[in-house]
Amino acid sequence: MTQTSLPESKMPVVPPRVLLGPGPSAAHPRVLQAMMSNMIGYLDPDFMLIMDEVSELLKRVFQTDESITLALSGTGSAGMEAGLNSLLEPDDTVVMCIYGFFCERMVEMAGRLGANVVPIRAPWGGPFPAEMLEEELKNHRNVKLVTAIHAETSTGVRQPLEDLSRLAKAHDALFMVDAVTSLGGNEVAVDDWDIDYCYSATQKCLGCPPGLSPVALSPRALDSVKSRAKKPTSWYLDLALNANYWGFDRVYHHTAPVSMILALREGLRIVLEEGLEERFARHHRNSLALWAGLEALGLDLVAPEEHRLDQITPFWIPEGVDDDRVRGMLLREYNIEIGKGLGEFAGKVWRVGLMGESSKSEYVLALLSALESILPREGFEVGPGAGVAAASRSLAGG
Ligand SMILES: Cc1ncc(COP(=O)(O)O)c(C=O)c1O
Q: What would the pLDDT profile of 312-343 be if each residue is shown by its tens digit?
A: 999 999 999 999 999 999 999 999 999 999 99
- In this prediction, residues 224-253 reach a mean pLDDT of 95
Per residue in 6-50, pLDDT (tens digit) is 999 999 899 999 999 999 999 999 999 999 999 999 999 999 999
What's the CA gap between 337 and 14, in Å, rounded?
Answer: 14
> 29-273 has which fold?
Aspartate Aminotransferase; domain 2 (3.40.640)
CA of 215 to the centre of ligand 1 (A): 14
CA of 201 to the centre of ligand 1 (A): 7
How is the chain split into domains, by residue range? Answer: 29-273, 275-395
Per residue in 77-136, pLDDT (tens digit) is 999 999 999 999 999 999 999 999 999 999 999 999 999 999 999 999 999 999 999 999
> 275-395 has which fold?
Aspartate Aminotransferase, domain 1 (3.90.1150)
| Residue nearest (by alpha carbon) to ligand 1 atom 9 | 76
**Cα 90–94–96 angle (5° rounding)?**
140
CA of 76 to the centre of ligand 1 (A): 5
| Residue nearest (by alpha carbon) to ligand 1 atom 16 | 153
Contacts of residue 315, Cβ cutoff 8 Å, sequence gap at least 6: 294, 299, 300, 301, 302, 349, 350, 352
Residue of 124, 180, 181, 197 to test ligand 1 pocket, by largest number of atoms within 8 Å of CB? 180
With 80 as the cut, is the pLDDT of residue 68 above it? yes
CA of 23 to the centre of ligand 1 (A): 9
* Nearest of 224, 223, 198, 168 to residue 76 by alpha carbon: 198
The helix (run of H) or strand (run of E) holding residue 388 is helix 386-395
Give the number of residues written for the chain: 398
CA of 48 to the centre of ligand 1 (A): 28
CA of 77 to the centre of ligand 1 (A): 6
Residue ranges around ligand 1 (CB below 6 Å): 22-23, 75-77, 80, 102, 149, 151, 153, 178, 180-181, 201, 210
Rg (CA), the chain: 22
| Residue nearest (by alpha carbon) to ligand 1 atom 8 | 76
Per residue in 186-232, pLDDT (tens digit) is 999 999 999 999 999 999 999 999 999 999 999 999 999 999 999 99
Domains 29-273 and 275-395 share a fold: no
CA of 372 to the centre of ligand 1 (A): 30
- Closest ligand 1 atom to 210 CA: 10
Per residue in 346-392, pLDDT (tens digit) is 999 999 999 999 999 999 999 999 999 999 999 999 999 999 999 99
Strand-pair category, 349-353 with 312-316 = antiparallel
Residue of 181, 205, 311 to test ligand 1 pocket, by largest number of atoms within 8 Å of CB? 181
**Neighbour-count burial of 30, counting CB atoms closer than 10 A to its CB (0-12 exposed, 13-18 middle, 19+ buried):** middle
CA of 361 to the centre of ligand 1 (A): 25
CA of 244 to the centre of ligand 1 (A): 25
- Closest ligand 1 atom to 154 CA: 16
- Closest ligand 1 atom to 201 CA: 10
DSSP secondary-structure letter at 358? Answer: G
- Closest ligand 1 atom to 152 CA: 1
